[in-house]
Structure 1
Amino acid sequence: MENGMIVQTKGLVRVFDEREIIRNCNINVREGSIYGFLGANGAGKTTVFKMLTGLLIPTAGKVSVMGMDIVAQRDRILRQIGSLIEVPIFYDHLTAVSNLEIHLAYMKTQGMGIATALKMVGLDPSNKHPVSRYSLGMRQRLGIARAIVHKPKVLILDEPINGLDPMGIREMRELFLTLVHKEGMTLMLSSHILSEIEHIADTIGVIVNGEIVEEAELGSIREKYPDGLEDYFFKMMRGGREND
């Protein structure tokens, strides 16, 4: 890994229908940190996450995870990545436990154990109901459980608190901090709830129209924007930069 960066992109480009959706995108995520990825709807956050996890192939540029190229060493990298991107899809006729068993079999590992992962996200391992009977919040919790059960080194979560009530949001916040500080994971997450990013992130990356306009330590942002991350975010959206 270069300079302790567990995830890096350099000159990343993705073209759809002859249109650059992602352009010259450079990301640097330090190992053992929480990276808050911010941007307006349609800015390109999900597309970037899909390239980081091998779901999309970059048109140009490079993605490096743990010092390995995501295109050349995709299978090896994916065993070390946990992800929740867009709406999680499950085998709805099966239980949560069965869904995680299938995932672990695919990953060829026992991970942290299914019961442990389910309890960490606030689900009951003894629940025999099929996932089709789960609420939106329960499905989101299960998606997070599937992302962490194999004990990945890197966790990539796209809007992970969607569908959760205030208590659930707080529980997930505490879980994310535990995963980083006690389980040794590195976390990248996006959220439209800026206060949640502000509670836990070490570094902020802002994407505007497919390009990273700035990466900044949360501590330095707080010094210049004492009223909160919202003021900083809207300045970035207007074309400003934190050090202006």
Structure 2
Amino acid sequence: MSLVTALALAASTVTLPNCSWDKPGVNPFMGDLVAAVDRYQDIPAATRARLKARMAARQYDEIVDIHRDRIEGRYEYGAEIRDMHFGAGSVCRTVTRSKWSDQTLERGLVYCEDGQCILVPTVCRNVSRIARGPLKPAAGGTAKGEDEPLMFDPPAAGSAEEAGGEPGSFARTAGLPPTATSDTSLAGPTPGTSSGLTVPGGGIPSIIGGPGIITLPQIPPNGGNGGGVVPVPGVPEPQTWLLFALGLGGVALIARRRNARDGVRMA
């Protein structure tokens, strides 16, 4: 941004000493979020340029929880929010939220460069400034890395139209695992394993494991042992044995009669 543009932006800004932020979303900032950083002339120009570049690319440090008397995140933050943008370009030096209840919670994106931190509340986009301290120690006594991924996608830091709605309508997407889909086909066993099909509770075969699953050994297609179970030939039924015995008896009787006839003829 040129010097003339920066001076024009500063001249068009109405600066107020104190404002109330007791009702977030009532007077949302309607200007350009990235350009609003140039109103903070006490921040060095190089630092402002880096902050603006990160905001344009939505490369935030983290998303913090804003309460009535504190700001919670991975870092230690001061409770004060200052230099907040309202409406078309008003800036309040100090902001109070004393009328918030203990249950009131807002969220905000944080961008920090060279110790200068910008806060963009997601409910109203009121670009502000906060102070950040050291990184909090993790439960195990070590600090979390700054590159630790968040569990959900952040709201857009651009304009309200770009974010998909009116100011205050930003929504976050939870980082849920992919939705499971049903599979009606039965996959074959993994090479080198003996498990083929599974039968939940002795019912219909299924490829889905779980409690009470019975695993059947895989029988090789060629009938060899192959590390699996060899099929056992079936045992004949009693009726089959009876028919077999009757057949043998009939054959023996016919042979005896033929032998008797042949003996008579020879005599």
TM-score, with length taken from structure 1:
0.20
Whichever of the two has the greater Rg, that structure is 2
Structure (1/2) with the larger helix percentage:
1
Which fold has the larger relative contact order, with Cα–Cα distance below 8 Å and residues 6 or more apart in sequence?
1
TM-score, with length taken from structure 2:
0.19
